[in-house]
């Protein structure tokens, strides 16, 4: 097996000097950072947003999920457009759209406006994520060097995830939640200004537009993702949600038929004949589902039970995201060469799942001593698998399909970003009122008064007109009810991750895949 040589014209020549290539990598990593800073900074600001805008729990889920819904819906289309129009061009366009969405978020004065801003930014993120990874793959052609570069790319997602809570916490100490989105503006502006100077343009030599695939793929992913998010709030048996699943099923069937017959499909479904590629897509989705889910549940627990300030929340998440960042670099540059993809990816899933289950040690006191070990273990797991799983997806396809693979793995990752907050967050927001109501009734509080207390607590506030004799009881019942709800989310997330470790161990290829030369092809 030999190191891959790109087909003639498949990509623009890489910059002449090694330094220029690494500077270009730095620029695309700015785009990756901004895409993930938005996720965790928004999660960290949820308490302030809810208190200021007085939004319901179901709307609060959309503030975090609108961004990911847009990314999931458009990431494949953006990857295709990048292959056709030029990856740097689409990357820059995505940074501009992300900048526009962040500006809207800064001036948002209602939950609807903020959700819209997040959706606009998500369209920009959909363009930035696959093109940035495709640029890295086109620039670094040696499989081992590419894996190291992808490791840096993945580590920058960890930087974004780690910086988001700390930055949001520091800003919220002195300013309103609107200022949290200024960091997005700065990062997007830098990426937009530096990309034309430092990033080499590349594109697919023969890629053609697949309009039916673009439309059907967008409808398919958007309908399924919307149903997952909204169904968690309204119930999965309601008429609108059932309608969305019907739309998804029909569009999926038609999409498969169209893509299998198209000479140059947006997504070559034959890639999924490879058990390894399919398993890596599942790993990409489930790992981010677990990582973001652990982060969200931890933020909610610290804010609601521990009464921790936003800045302290960000600092206390460093065992998760800081460890993720450090281990990602080591895994990409050292471990993947020694032990291969399979062991790292499987171990990563086990570690994240174990970390999620370890968080069951927390109690209603809100103490941090029982919390940080679980965060640390989950961070190690995420660091072990993120770069190897991304590299495995890109390295498992021919050079001409690397942009497609980059878009597919990013779609899977963003689907996990949707599933984490929407499913695990919904578990908490739906079970907490029931838990609290049951505890209040068991304590002898009349049902009408219990309903009033639960209503105030569910909207992020407190109940009014509580007799002094009951204040202590309510103050004890609410943290216990919320902790129990978070624990259910921890169990669900942990079990899903451990189950995913089985197909990862069975099907993911062990070593780097080296493409044959164009002559051999």
Sketch the domain layout of the chain as residue ranges: 18-210+264-435+480-507, 211-263
Per-residue pLDDT tens digits for 419-447: 777 778 778 877 888 888 888 888 778 77
pLDDT band, very low/low/confident/very high, at 496 (cuts 50, 70, 90): very high
List the structure tokens of 52: 């200021």
**CA dihedral (6, 9, 10, 15) positive or negative:** positive
In CATH terms, is domain 18-210+264-435+480-507 a member of 1.10.3660.10? no
Could you tell me if 382 and 348 are in contact, meaning their C-beta atoms sit under 8 angstroms apart?
yes
Judge if pTM exceeds 0.85: no
Least confident residue range of 15-24, 329-338, 382-391: 15-24
* Residue 410 pLDDT > 80: no
User: Cα separation of 424 and 294, whole Å?
Assistant: 9
* pLDDT per residue as tens digits for the range 98-152: 999 999 999 999 989 999 999 999 999 999 988 998 898 888 877 777 777 887 8
φ, ψ for residue 235, nearest 5 deg: 105, 140
What is the token pair recorded at 166? Answer: 């700390």
Distance CA 57, CA 482 (A): 14
Judge contact between 401 and 40, C-beta under 8 A. Answer: no
Instruction: Identify the sign of the CA torsion 25, 28, 33, 35.
Output: negative
Average of per-residue pLDDT across 10-25:
63
**Helices 468-507 and 275-304: crossing angle, nearest 10°?**
170
pLDDT for 521 equals 29
CB burial of residue 232 (10 Å; 0-12, 13-18, 19+): buried
Q: What pLDDT score was predicted for residue 467?
A: 61
Band (pLDDT 50/70/90 cuts) for residue 458 is: low
Is the pLDDT confidence value at 416 over 60? yes
Between CA 231 and CA 420 the distance in angstroms is: 14
């Amino acid at each position: 097996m030999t190191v891959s040589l790109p087909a003639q014209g498949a990509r623009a020549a890489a910059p002449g000097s090694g330094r220029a290539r690494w500077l270009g990598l730095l620029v695309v990593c700015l785009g990756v950072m901004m895409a993930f800073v938005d996720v965790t900074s928004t999660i960290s600001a949820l308490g302030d947003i809810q208190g200021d805008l007085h939004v319901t729990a179901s709307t609060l889920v959309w503030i975090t999920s609108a961004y990911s819904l847009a990314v999931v819906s458009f990431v494949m289309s953006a990857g295709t457009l990048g292959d056709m129009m030029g990856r740097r061009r689409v990357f820059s366009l995505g940074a501009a759209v992300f900048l526009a969405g962040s500006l809207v978020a800064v001036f948002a004065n209602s939950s609807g406006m903020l959700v819209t801003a997040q959706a606009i930014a998500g369209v920009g993120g959909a363009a930035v994520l696959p093109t940035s990874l495709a640029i890295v793959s086109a620039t670094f052609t040696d499989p081992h060097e590419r894996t190291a570069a992808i490791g840096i790319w993945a580590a920058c997602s960890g930087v974004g995830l780690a910086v988001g809570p700390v930055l949001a916490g520091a800003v919220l100490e002195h300013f309103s939640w609107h200022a949290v989105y200024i960091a997005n503006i700065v990062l997007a502006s830098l990426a937009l200004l530096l990309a034309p100077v430092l990033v080499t343009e590349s594109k697919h030599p023969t890629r053609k537009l697949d309009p039916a695939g673009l439309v059907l793929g967008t409808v398919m992913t958007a309908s399924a993702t919307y149903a997952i998010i909204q169904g968690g709030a309204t119930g999965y048996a309601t008429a609108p949600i059932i309608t969305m699943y019907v739309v998804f099923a029909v569009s999926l069937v038609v999409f498969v038929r169209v893509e299998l017959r198209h000479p140059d499909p947006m997504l070559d479904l034959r890639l999924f004949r490879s058990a390894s590629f399919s398993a890596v897509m599942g790993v990409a989705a489930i790992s981010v589902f677990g990582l973001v889910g652990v982060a969200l549940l931890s933020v909610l627990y610290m804010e609601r039970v521990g009464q921790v300030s936003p800045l302290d929340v960000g600092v206390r998440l460093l065992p998760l995201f800081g460890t993720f960042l450090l281990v990602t670099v080591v895994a990409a540059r050292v471990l993947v060469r020694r032990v291969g993809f399979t062991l790292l990816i499987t171990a990563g899933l086990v570690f994240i799942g174990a970390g999620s289950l370890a968080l069951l040690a927390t109690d209603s006191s809100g103490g941090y001593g029982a919390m940080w070990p679980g965060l640390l273990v989950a961070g190690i797991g995420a660091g072990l698998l993120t770069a190897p799983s991304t590299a495995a997806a890109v390295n498992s396809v021919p050079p001409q399909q690397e942009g497609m693979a980059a878009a597919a793995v990013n779609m899977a990752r963003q689907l996990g970003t949707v599933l984490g907050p929407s499913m695990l967050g919904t578990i908490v927001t739906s079970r907490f009122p029931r838990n609290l109501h049951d505890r209040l009734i068991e304590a002898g509080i009349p049902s009408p008064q219990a309903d009033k207390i639960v209503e105030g607590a569910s909207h992020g506030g407190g109940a009014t007109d509580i007799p002094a004799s009951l204040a202590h009881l309510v103050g004890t019942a609410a943290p216990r009810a919320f902790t129990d709800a978070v624990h259910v989310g921890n169990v669900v997330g942990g079990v899903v991750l451990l189950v995913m470790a089985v197909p990862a161990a069975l099907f993911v290829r062990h070593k780097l895949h080296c493409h044959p030369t164009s002559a051999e092809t």
